[in-house]
Amino acid sequence: MEKIGEKIKRIRKENEWSQTAILPRQQSLVSQIEKGTIKNPGKEILEKIAENLEMNFEELIAQTDWDRNKEQKIDDAQYGFSRYNLSVELRKTGQIVTKMKAFPRYNEAGDVNKYDPETGHELITNCTYDDCGRNIEKSSQQYCMSCGEELMEVLDFAGVESSGMSIDTLKALNKNKFLRFHPRIDEFDFWYNRQSNDNELKKISKLKEELQKYMEEYASLAEDEYGGEPNAGDINNGGELNIRLGNCIWTETQEGYEIDLWPDQHSWGSIYISGTEYFKGTKSSHPHVKKWWSEHQKALLILEEVRRHLLEYRAQIESTPDYAENDKDGPDIAGLLKDIEDEPF
C-alpha cells in the first residue's frame, strides 16, 4: 500500500507537474502532504488535488493508506499566533517593537499545534475580521494581507450577548491601548551610557510597579453588591459582583459600584459583570473583561521585557572596559589626581 503523499508525488512527477500546479497558491501544503508531515489530509483538499491530477477522489485514494476516519482538518496556515503573548524587542534606536508570538502550525509528526504553550490560549491561524478568513503566512505578520486589519486587535465575539458592542467600537477603543502604561525610551544612549541605562531602568521599574498596583486595585473593586470585598465563596458560587472596568462610566452607590454606561451604549442602563466572569481574565467570553485583562497583561509583559533588555545592555556596558568614559558622573577625578600626586617624579 502506498502512502497518500507518495502517490500524489509519483503521479505529479510522472506528468511533470509542479506542486503549485496541483494546488495553486498552496505549494507548501502540497509539500507537507508529499513529505508526510500531513499524513491524512482532509477530503476537500484531496478532491482539489485529484481534480488537478486529472482523476477523481476515489481513484486518488485507491490503494493508499488514506483513512477517512482520521481525516486531518488542515489549512495552509504555516503559523499559529497567540494574541495574548508577545515577543518584545528593544532596539538601540530606543524603539520598542512588539509582535504576536508565532508558533509553527504543525509539529514534525504532523499534529496540529492548537494552543500557546506559554499561556494556554488558542492560537489563531487566520484573520478573524468579519468573514475575511485569510490565512496568516509569515511569523512576523501583524496585518492581514487580504483586508489590512491588524491581527492582534480583533477579539473573538463568540458567546457575547448582552453588551451589543460592535467590533468597530472595540477596535477604536483598542487603539488607545497601553496609553497610560506604554513604556517609552527618553535617553537614547541607554545602550552604552551607564547613567542613562540606570535612569531608564528606574523609570521602567516604576511604571511596572504602578501597573501592578493598578491591576491589584481593580481586582479589589470586584465587590459584592453590599460593597464588601470579594471572597472565594462568592466567586465560586458565581455570585453577582459588580465590577468596574476601564472604558466604562460608573457611579458609586450605597450598594456598591454600578456601571452606568458602556462606551457603545446610547441609553442609560446598568450592566453587571459577575466576579466569576471577571476572574476568568482573558479567557472570559465578555469582550470588556477580555480586553481589560488582555491590555493590562500585555502592558505588563512589555514592561518586563523592556526591563530585561535594559539589564542585558547594562551587562554589556559593564563588561566593556572603557564604559566609565561614557558615565555621566565622569571618571573619578579626585582618585586620578591622588594617583598623580603619589607618583614619584
Q: Which residues bind Zn ion (CB under 5 A)?
A: 127, 129, 132, 134, 144, 146-147
Tell the smallest beta-carbon distance from residue 149 to Zn ion (Å).
Answer: 5
H-helix segments, 15-116: 19-22, 27-35, 43-52, 57-61
How many CB atoms sit inside 10 A of residue 152's CB? 21
Tell the smallest beta-carbon distance from residue 141 to Zn ion (Å).
Answer: 11
One-letter amino acid at 132 equals C
Q: How far is CA 284 from CA 42, 155, 209, in A?
A: 32, 11, 25
One-letter amino acid at 115 equals Y
Q: Which is nearer to Zn ion, 83 or 307 (CB)?
A: 83
Q: Which is nearer to Zn ion, 33 or 170 (CB)?
A: 170
CA-to-CA distance for 212 and 222, rounded, in angstroms?
16
Q: What is the full DSSP assignment across 119-187? A: T-PBPB-B--STT--PBP--TT--B-TTT--BTTTPPP-TT--SS---HHHHHHHHTTTTTTT------
Tell the smallest beta-carbon distance from residue 153 to Zn ion (Å).
Answer: 12
Tell the smallest beta-carbon distance from residue 123 to Zn ion (Å).
Answer: 17
Q: Which residues pair with 327 in a beta bridge?
A: none
DSSP 8-state class, residue 94: S
Q: Which is nearer to Zn ion, 143 or 218 (CB)?
A: 143
At residue 51, the 3 state secondary structure works out as helix
Q: Which is nearer to Zn ion, 150 or 198 (CB)?
A: 150
Residues 331, 334, 338, 339, Cα dihedral to 10°? 0
Tell the smallest beta-carbon distance from residue 19 to Zn ion (Å).
Answer: 25
Q: Which is nearer to Zn ion, 146 or 220 (CB)?
A: 146
Tell the smallest beta-carbon distance from residue 146 to Zn ion (Å).
Answer: 4
Q: How far is CA 162 from CA 17, 262, 265, in A?
A: 54, 11, 11
27-35 helix and 43-52 helix, angle to the nearest 10 degrees:
100
Q: Which is nearer to Zn ion, 139 or 326 (CB)?
A: 139
Tell the smallest beta-carbon distance from residue 143 to Zn ion (Å).
Answer: 8
Tell the smallest beta-carbon distance from residue 272 to Zn ion (Å).
Answer: 34
Hunting for cell 518586563 — which residue is that? 304
Q: Which is nearer to Zn ion, 80 or 183 (CB)?
A: 80
Q: Which is nearer to Zn ion, 126 or 197 (CB)?
A: 126
Strands (E), the chain: 79-90, 96-104, 223-224, 241-242, 249-253, 256-261
